[in-house]
């Protein structure tokens, strides 16, 4: 079997996909098994990849901000259902995105101003 270097996040067709951080769009187009794909460079070491999109909301060389819509969930490429394929690359090599998502969620919740202390 082929190594699966990302995380599949199931969602409804057309769900907006947002950038997790500021960056520059490196690639927008069809990428083999991933179908319609967007790749963002966040700094000298980290890039993120979003696959199986139904459409794009960005262009190559565009600067994006955290929270900006970059595309929409689809099932293009080698996909059996609607979902987002999400990868994080460190120094051009894929890493496990799950710990990064957990850390992001923890930071987000800790800084969430609408939560009240009881």
pTM of the predicted protein model: 0.83
Confirm whether 73 is domain-assigned: yes
Confirm whether 61 is domain-assigned: yes
Confirm whether 63 is domain-assigned: yes
Confirm whether 13 is domain-assigned: yes
pLDDT, tens digit, 9 for 90 and up, residues 34-51: 999 999 999 999 999 999
pLDDT, tens digit, 9 for 90 and up, residues 4-42: 688 899 999 999 999 988 999 999 999 989 999 999 999
Confirm whether 19 is domain-assigned: yes
Output the furthest CA–CA distance in the chain (Å, rounded): 51
Distances (CA, A) of 27 to 24, 59, 98, 108: 9, 8, 23, 28
Backbone φ/ψ region at 89: left (φ over 0), alpha (ψ -120 to 50), beta: beta
Most confident of 18-22, 58-62, 101-105, 107-111: 58-62
Confirm whether 77 is domain-assigned: yes
What's the mean pLDDT in 87-116? 66
Q: How many domains does the chain have?
A: 1
CATH code of residue 37: 2.70.70.10
Q: Which domain holds residue 102?
A: 7-111
Confirm whether 117 is domain-assigned: no
Ramachandran angles phi, psi of 9, nearest 5°: -115, 110
């Amino acid at each position: 079997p082929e190594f699966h270097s990302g995380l599949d996040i199931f969602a409804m067709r057309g769900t907006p996909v947002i950038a997790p951080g500021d960056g520059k769009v490196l690639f927008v187009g069809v990428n083999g098994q991933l179908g319609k794909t967007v790749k963002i460079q966040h700094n000298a070491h980290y890039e993120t990849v979003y696959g199986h999109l139904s459409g794009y909301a960005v262009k190559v060389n565009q600067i994006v901000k955290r929270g900006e819509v970059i595309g929409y969930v689809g099932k293009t490429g080698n996909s059996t259902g609607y979902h987002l394929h999400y990868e994080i690359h460190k120094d051009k090599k894929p890493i496990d995105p799950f710990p990064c998502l957990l850390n992001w969620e923890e930071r987000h919740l800790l800084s969430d101003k609408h939560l009240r202390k009881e």
